[in-house]
Structure 1
């Protein structure tokens, strides 16, 4: 089961010690921010899909305010870890908190790299 865009946003809010209810001033920006992140993550998602023998996505999914409860068809490593970090970075950018923008952007990038590295390090003994 995949996370929804709203669940990703809820996780991002928890990183900044807010609830969704406390974030009414930024929730309207969340779909646009998430659409950028989904596009940025597309190559990583397709790499994970190739490793799993799944069909690749031709384009990144898109969300809007009306579709925030739609599931995002990306791997858990992206929806549960990377994307919330990326959204938290965007929230701090909106608040002009450059230290936290960089911190969460770095966590986002590291999570993208780790998602692929973790999958790529799987070794299969072909001689057994």
Structure 2
């Protein structure tokens, strides 16, 4: 990797780049053959959550979907607006629906996934 890549001949002096130049009539140099030429380039990006789980371990719904309580409120007659169900992220980086973890904490103060003491880091609205 210490030698430069030969992708184009733009580093050569201008008179050597011009075809039929009078300065290099005495010495004909073969143009350097390119090692490779990039015909097409496609960028690919990956992303991931900054948390360790994608589903609520309590209600087993995906974290970007409402919890069971919120789904029940959305199905009531006369409720046409979309229910937003916030997520609670703990200091252990485990996430749960806020309604699910608040019900869980009433009986025991531990994370459902790692059994460590539960403490709230932040609440995020979906």
- TM-score range (shorter-chain normalised) is under 0.3
TM-score, normalised to structure 1, is 0.26
The structure whose RCO (Cα within 8 Å, separation 6+) is larger is 1
TM-score, normalised to structure 2, is 0.26
